């Protein structure tokens, strides 16, 4: 979909029911489950966005993913 919209693909976030429950409880899910694949995916996307803010046009994501 990102390529169709000509925007960078930043990553996929796996669905984890524990994350939903933590959100419903008001608990930061990334702190509650720091080693989950969902937390890693969110951290990777946040890192990519940070790189792009510091260096517009930079980052590592491309349109081919």
Task: Return the structure tokens found at 7.
Answer: 């925007």
Determine how many CB atoms are found less than 10 A away from the CB of residue 61.
19
Q: How far apart are CA 27 and CA 50, in angstroms?
A: 24
Q: How far apart are CA 29 and CA 6, in angstroms?
A: 31
Q: In this predicted model, what pLDDT tens digit does every residue of 1-57 receive, in sequence order?
A: 888 888 888 899 999 999 989 989 999 999 999 999 999 999 999 998 888 888 776
Q: Write down the pTM of the prediction.
A: 0.73
Determine how many CB atoms are found less than 10 A away from the CB of residue 14.
12
């Amino acid at each position: 979909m990102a390529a169709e919209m000509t925007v960078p693909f930043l990553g996929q976030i796996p669905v984890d029911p524990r994350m939903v429950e933590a959100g419903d409880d008001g608990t930061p899910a990334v702190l509650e489950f720091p080693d989950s694949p969902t937390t890693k995916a969110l951290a990777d996307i946040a890192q990519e966005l940070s790189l792009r803010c510091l260096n517009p046009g930079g980052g590592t994501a491309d349109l081919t993913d």
